[in-house]
Chain A
Amino acid sequence: MTTSHDARLNYLGRNLLSGCLLGLGFVAFIDEAIFHQILHWHHFYDKSTPNIGLVSDGIFHAFSWFSTISGAFLVSDLRRRNAWWPKRWIGGFLFGGGAFQLYDGTIQHKLMRIHQIRYNVEIAPYDWVWNIIATMMLLAGLILIFRTRREANVMEGTA
């Protein structure tokens, strides 16, 4: 007999992947909606952007739409299989979102200089807040991922 309990164990990877994709998509969406469109802090193009920055931005921009939509379809898929494990999924979400925000805040903003968080202000505090939040999300995500992995091992052992 298949219970919802067992189904989750068969789809550990898909729970993680779906969370990661939606987490990345969510962070990218916040970045676009709030920082570009509402606050107008971020700039569409900063004259100091080198070409590699444009490439990185383009790939992540395209990937963020894809990951949001495909992540949502994966959740539906897990639910129709009774295999959705919210705790592991949130771990993936925080991990994916945190990793992308950290990449955006360090490599894209600082190294590639696509654009800064805000212009005509002392930028350091903004960068610190941005990257500390990212690191905290990343770590919280990792903790949940390892915990659920261990729980899954226990469940499998007792099953």
Chain B
Amino acid sequence: MEHNHVHQASGTAFDLLLTLPFVLAVIVYLRMAVVSNHRCKRWPFYRYVCWILGVIFSAAVLIGPIAKLTHENFISHMVGHLFLGMLAPLLLVLAAPMTLLMRTLRVRSARRLSRVLKSFPVSIYCNPVVASILNIGGLWVLYTTELYSAMHHNLLLHIVVHIHIFIAGYLYTISILYIDPAPHRYGFIFRAVVLILSLAGHGILSKYIYAYPPLGVTTDQAEIGGMIMYYGGDLVEIILIFIFCQQWYKAARPRMTVSITQ
């Protein structure tokens, strides 16, 4: 009963309104790809797939029947958390939206955008350590304080927490995987260490939730939710690590030094 407060406010009209940004995200991406295909090399098909799936996974957590379930049940909440904070950001990053945007913008706007990307505040947020703390630290705060139960009684807080989970997940992913233009780059070893420690922070939090259920969550649900976070997190982590290592493999390819005598 106590978990229903937020959802009474949201009817079908509200749901439709919430759908709008997601539909727009897909339309704008497709439109940019069409423009880009006229000027540059064909935009790879897999990137469309990644973008659309990423938008669907984020939307599913926030709107409709699955979203409703995540309010009532900690297990569904955890599945939603994996989608919104890990899987969707990864898929969206793989779709390289910034590259696409740079290709479609007029030169002047693109230069302005690239100045913003190079700016000091952006470099702070894209630092792997800062992004990891925002991402994993944010989750620790959510599940080990009263924030989790407070979120279910306050619509605004609920929205802010979900936006934070998504943005922090996205920043974290772009701070580890350089697919879009990344002006402030860090070496593979440094990123690997941060990656391992942050994934460890995620795993430790899952077991902590298993052992000490967040306020308002039953022991049964906390145990299953913790295990879903642990093993579900593993699945996304494996993809992340694989792509990370593949990037190293490409960057470290042996360069042939052949001298040609004419």
Contacts and interface: CB of A to CB of B under 8 A. Distances in A.
A140 interface: no
A62 B245 contact: no
B196 A73 contact: no
Contact of B242 (A58, A69, A77): A69
B208 A54 contact: yes
A78 to B, nearest CB: 11
Contacts of A55: 200, 204
Interface string B169-197: 00000000000000000000000100111
A49 B197 CA distance: 20
A65 interface: yes
Contacts of B210: 44-45
Given A44-B210, A69-B242, A58 B195 contact: no
B227 interface: yes
Interface string B192-218: 100111011111100110110000000
A109 to B, nearest CB: 16
A61 B203 CA distance: 8
Given A65-B234, A65-B238, A73 B203 contact: no
Chain B binding surface, main DSSP class: helix
B254 A58 contact: no
Chain A binding surface, main DSSP class: helix
A69 B204 CA distance: 21
B199 A62 contact: yes
B241 A58 contact: no
A34 B247 CA distance: 31
Contacts of B200: 55, 58-59, 61-63
Interface in A44-68: 44-45, 47, 49, 54-55, 57-59, 61-63, 65-66
B228 to A, nearest CB: 12
Given A58-B203, A80-B254, A65 B197 contact: no
Contacts of A66: 192, 195-196, 199, 241
Given A62-B199, A62-B200, A69 B241 contact: yes
A1 to B, nearest CB: 13
A71 B186 CA distance: 21
B204 A65 contact: no
A58 B207 contact: yes
B252 A77 contact: yes
A61 to B, nearest CB: 5
Contacts of A153: none
Nearest to A76: B249
Interface in A76-116: 76-77, 80-81
A73 B253 CA distance: 11
A28 to B, nearest CB: 12
Nearest to B195: A66
Nearest to B252: A77
A65 B237 CA distance: 8
A70 interface: yes
Contacts of B99: none
Interface string B210-248: 110000000000000011001000100110011001101
Interface in B78-122: none
Contacts of A59: 196-197, 200
B226 to A, nearest CB: 8
A76 B254 CA distance: 12
20 contacts: A44-B230, A45-B207, A47-B211, A49-B207, A57-B203, A58-B204, A58-B207, A59-B196, A61-B203, A62-B199, A62-B200, A62-B202, A65-B237, A65-B238, A66-B195, A69-B238, A69-B245, A70-B241, A70-B248, A76-B249
Given A49-B211, A58-B204, 19 more contacts: A44-B230, A45-B207, A45-B210, A55-B204, A58-B200, A58-B203, A59-B196, A62-B200, A62-B203, A63-B200, A65-B199, A65-B238, A69-B242, A70-B245, A73-B249, A76-B249, A77-B252, A80-B253, A80-B254
